[in-house]
Amino acid sequence: MARARRHRRRRGRSPLQTVIQIAGELLITFGVILLLFVGWELWWTNIESNQKQEAAIETLMEDFDAPVVPQDTDEDLKDYGEPIVMDPVQDGESFAVVYIPRFGAEFTRPVTDGVGVSVLDNLGLGHYPQTAMPGEVGNFALAGHRQTHGMVLDAIHTLVPGDRIYVQTKDGYYTYVYRNNQIVLPNRLDVIAPVPTQLGVVPTERMMTLTSCNPRFGAEERIIAYSVMESWQPLSAGPPAEIAPLVASNAEKGA
Amino acid sequence: MYGWIFSHLPGPLWARVLISILLIVTVILLLLTIVFPWLSQFNPLTDSTIGTPGS
């Protein structure tokens, strides 16, 4: 039966026609696979990466275990002295949570040491090893995707000078104030120097630098966002008022 | 090519349709879970770091 059907199909078809037919089918297949890849990269990687980041935040919040309501409502900017700076962590270890209200009231992302593919594609923000830790004099430098894999820094161009960026570690909350951005070529390693763009200068300020790709769907350039630390408070003082609801909801998930 | 594969699958028409669907789903799952994550690291459009990535 199958044999008869095959003979009927083969009849009157030259080898050239068969080759063209197979080539055509392969090309169509390749096109469909390419479309699948685009869909996967632009859509599915976000879902997958967001799940992993939420799980990472839950784990971190379990470890932090601190009050989730501001303890000093009278004095917003109480002076807690020199910020505690945590020791550097191993590559691939998550150690902080970042809150950026400008990116939405719900914006919260984990920070993991390392800027390799395995960190940035799965866990959102990656900390450049060798750069400062949160609250340290120098440059606390982070990288994150603008598109795909959670799109952590998609809205980086919407930051307005004066916007607060909050970093929470096991020691406390570090409040950075966004200052300016800069668009540079990808080889400009000096933007993550202790004093950004000034190699070899001894730092006196506590800076934070975010790097992401630019333009939004390309990678010809990098967009850099600089912030300066304004204040810090220990975990026991509770979260800064602006992010208190989000910290509380994160802590609830981690409980 | 696909016609040739389809005509060589065993069983009646409904079984061959079922096997074809299973084969297609298997290929798509392989692509999504293994091939695409591997391919993604060569996509230059998602590089967001300064200097050499991974350094």
Option in B2, B8, B50 nearest A188 (CB) = B50
Name the band, by pLDDT with cuts 50, 70 and 90, for residue A80.
confident
Name the band, by pLDDT with cuts 50, 70 and 90, for residue B53.
very low
Which range, of A19-23, A59-63, A171-175, averages the lowest pLDDT? A59-63
Cα–Cα distance between A109 and A125 in angstroms, integer?
7
Which range, of A108-112, A180-184, A244-248, averages the lowest pLDDT? A244-248
Residue B31 placed within a domain: yes
A120-146 burial code (b ≥16 CB/10 A, e <16): bbbbbbbbbeebbbbbbbbbbbbbbbb
Is A121 within 8 Å of A143 (Cβ atoms)?
Answer: no
Which domain, by its residues, includes B34? Answer: 2-40
Q: How many domains does chain B have?
A: 1
Give chain B's contact residues with A (Cβ, < 8 Å): 1-4, 7-8, 28, 31-32, 36-37, 39-41, 43-51, 53-55
Closest CA to A173 of A51, A59, A76, A54: A76
DSSP code, position A1: -
Mean pLDDT across chain A, nearest whole number?
89
Answer whether residue A222 shows pLDDT above 90: yes
pLDDT in tens, A145-169: 998 888 999 999 999 999 999 999 9
pLDDT in tens, A24-39: 999 999 999 999 999 9
Cα–Cα distance between A83 and A75 in angstroms, integer?
18
Which structure tokens are listed for A228?
């300066």
Option in B40, B46, B50 nearest A192 (CB) = B50
The ipTM estimated for the assembled molecules is 0.84
Name the band, by pLDDT with cuts 50, 70 and 90, for residue A118.
confident
Token look-up 């993991």 returns: A112
Write down how long chain A is. 255
Residues in B touching A153 (Cβ below 8 Å): 48
Residue A215: closest CA among chain B residues belongs to which residue?
B45
Residue B23 placed within a domain: yes
Q: What percent of chain A has pLDDT over 70?
A: 92
Q: What percent of chain A has pLDDT over 90?
A: 65
Question: Maximum distance among all alpha carbons in chain B?
Answer: 59
Q: How far is CA A232 from the centre of its chain?
A: 22
Residues in B touching A192 (Cβ below 8 Å): 50
CATH number of A46-254: 2.40.260.10
